[in-house]
Chains A and B, each alone.
Chain A
Amino acid sequence: EADIYQTPRYLVIGTGKKITLECSQTMGHDKMYWYQQDPGMELHLIHYSYGVNSTEKGDLSSESTVSRIRTEHFPLTLESARPSHTSQYLCASSAVGSSYEQYFGPGTRLTVT
């Protein structure tokens, strides 16, 4: 089982609230990723990081922001949640090198009412 954790697992929140989804890994991986997954759909990359103080936007435009102050921690923040942000958010990490697989966290299912 991969050592990558996400909290909370489920979150129901009202419109306009600020939220932070937590992601931590204990494998010392430099690369971390955030994917968004709507029910029954594929995953889309929304953010990634090469290492500390390095973050980039992914293929799918997202109003969320991320930070990478420590290697093991890659939180995602929504300043003002909206119903359109309702989705599943998956965090992943991988070691440097193209042959290394990505390990996924259990995901956070976010519902904005």
Chain B
Amino acid sequence: AQTVTQSQPEMSVQEAETVTLSCTYDTSESDYYLFWYKQPPSRQMILVIRQEAYKQQNATENRFSVNFQKAAKSFSLKISDSQLGDAAMYFCAYRSLGGATNKLIFGTGTLLAVQP
């Protein structure tokens, strides 16, 4: 079974600085998707960024980018130029490519605080 581990329960960053959130996963599959979701205090989960395992190029979405190391099974999220609105719980998630469920397997989350 696949597992997702986030070893940083809490992180803090100064506004305008850069922070990196860690995520490792375990799987025997060769093709899969990885996601970072953000859950702000209002509690609605939104997708931040997605990475297909078969793509070597790291995904980027504006100030958000990932460092995907497939051999090491590592999937970290880098937030550049941090803003107050980035404060939230961040979840790393895994999804198999095959199967009909499309279910997500989540890590335990990292609570990010942004200091003004």
Contacts and interface: CB of A to CB of B under 8 A. Distances in A.
Interface string A91-104: 01010001111101
A88 interface: yes
B30 interface: no
B102 A107 contact: no
A36 to B, nearest CB: 11
A74 interface: no
B106 A98 contact: no
B108 interface: yes
A98 B98 contact: yes
A75 interface: no
Given A42-B109, A98-B97, A100-B102, A105 B44 contact: yes
Given A98-B97, A106-B44, A42 B108 contact: yes
Interface string A70-113: 00000000000000000010101010001111101111010000
A40 B37 CA distance: 15
Contacts of A109: 43
A92 B91 CA distance: 15
Contacts of B102: 31, 94, 98, 100, 102
B100 A50 contact: yes
Interface residues of A, number: 28
B108 A41 contact: yes
Contact of B33 (A33, A59, A90, A98): A98
19 contacts: A2-B44, A31-B102, A40-B108, A40-B111, A41-B108, A42-B4, A42-B91, A42-B106, A42-B107, A59-B103, A94-B102, A98-B98, A98-B102, A99-B33, A99-B52, A101-B35, A104-B44, A106-B42, A107-B44
Across chains A and B, which 7 residue pairs bring their CB atoms closest together, nearest first?
Answer: A104-B45, A42-B106, A106-B44, A43-B106, A42-B108, A107-B43, A101-B47
